[in-house]
Amino acid sequence: MAADLVLRARRAVVGDAVVGVTVVVADGRVVGVDPYDARVPDTTDTVELAEDEVLLPGLVDTHVHVNEPGRTEWEGFASATRAAAAGGVTTVVDMPLNSIPPTTSVAALDDKREAAAARAWVDVAFWGGAVPGNVTDLEALDRAGVVGFKAFLVDSGVPEFGHLDEGGLRGALAETARLGSVLAVHAEDAGVLAAAPAAHGRRYADFLASRPPAAERVAVERIVSALRDVGGRAHVVHLSDAGSVPVVAAAHAEGLALTAETCPHYLALCAEDVADGATPHKCCPPIRDRGNQDGLWAGLAAGTITMVVSDHSPSTVALKRLDTGDFGAAWGGIAGLQLGLPVVWTEARRRGHTIADVVRWMGADPARLVGLGDRGRIGAGAPAHLVAFAPDETFVVDPTTLHHRHPVSPYAGRTLHGVTRRTWLRGLPVDLDAAPRGRLLTRGSP
């Protein structure tokens, strides 16, 4: 059998197992996954992974704010997708905000595609936005290929992307159900937040008090109620409150189509370690205490939370207010796309999880959420998006060496386990010094 590439690895994540393999690639796809000592097909390119490397499928990050067009000074497709490739992520799904215009119409989606074309080092898909007054636009966006729709139940932080009231939530859920799509929801309740003390000043404790756990719990309960009455499929984004995990579990027991994700920063950082004025740690919902973090890990272990995605949400350095350390004034978002894999792996291994668990949370399950189920796995027919990962190698995070646009990171100075040494896209090595080869995807893209 002719092949374009053969990869031999003593350790590879195939399904839920770590096994020795010979992976055969032709025309950009995996055409064979054989035992490590299998006879190698004729090819001009055979790669033997080092003994300390594990072959992973390329990861899929379904929660990335690229911010282009309109706020490209915050990030941009070129810088974001370079960071993704360097971090072992071969497919990103761009959120419909904080670009201008937001992706709430087909015209805005066309603007996004134009901005991303020829600037993507990895494959890029797109969420559409569900905002007040655009429910009649959702069908056209769905036909244009968005992988699902994102909505807020509270102020999004940018004026051009409004949040849904109860009627708006149910209307969007009914429409996405009719379309056979999914509604991803920022689950914080506006009423609970309005009753909490306002965020201000340098004390992290004051910021934490401004986004209480009840805001998430009430919002998740609202989503469950809407699912019960309207039907459809909903997804809770960036869950930070462990107290909401039983609500999600009860929805599963009831047979409701509800999924939930969490993020690396909630799994690896905790409130006790956030210094006053350390605004690189600000995100919404916030990083909570260590006991809460343990509850999120328990939710992952139980399968109630099924995926881990970055919620990569960078801004300019000025907007993070490093000069004043004012949590009330700083932009709420963490730039973590490149570091997601080592951050999660560092904590997962400490807690007894395997690299196969991490790949499922960060590859196969996010891919399935957005209708790209042939990704995030090593198997015949899958795109040859592959990663050589050294799980035992350590490094100290230096934000100036990261590929995202601005050198701000809450992980600065941390020692992490796991280094992405090489990334292949459709069987070809990703070369950040060459022209980008990422493709723009639609729901169900091969």
Lowest mean pLDDT among 41-50, 81-90, 120-129, 430-439: 41-50
Report yes or no on 430 lying in a domain.
no
Helix axes 213-230, 166-179, angle to 10 degrees: 50
pLDDT tens, 193-249? Answer: 999 999 999 999 999 999 999 999 999 999 999 999 999 999 999 999 999 999 999
Report yes or no on 388 lying in a domain.
no
CA pair distance 371, 179, nearest whole angstrom:
13
Domain containing residue 312: 58-376+394-412
| 389 CB-near residues (< 8 Å, 6+ apart) | 53, 54, 55, 56, 88, 341, 355, 418, 419, 420, 421
pLDDT band at 41 (very low <50, low <70, confident <90, very high): confident
pLDDT tens, 274-326? Answer: 999 999 999 999 999 999 999 999 999 999 999 999 999 999 999 999 999 99
Report yes or no on 211 lying in a domain.
yes
Report yes or no on 189 lying in a domain.
yes
pLDDT band at 1 (very low <50, low <70, confident <90, very high): low
The total of structural domains in the chain comes to 1
Q: Are 314 and 333 in contact (CB under 8 A)?
A: yes
pLDDT at res. 275: 97
pLDDT band at 443 (very low <50, low <70, confident <90, very high): confident
Report yes or no on 15 lying in a domain.
no
Report yes or no on 278 lying in a domain.
yes
Report yes or no on 32 lying in a domain.
no
Dihedral in degrees, nearest 10, Cα atoms 184, 190, 196, 197? 100
Bridge partners of 26? 29
Q: Are 142 and 128 in contact (CB under 8 A)?
A: yes
Total-model pTM: 0.98
pLDDT band at 445 (very low <50, low <70, confident <90, very high): confident
- CATH label of the domain that carries residue 407: 3.20.20.140
CA pair distance 405, 400, nearest whole angstrom:
10
Report yes or no on 384 lying in a domain.
no
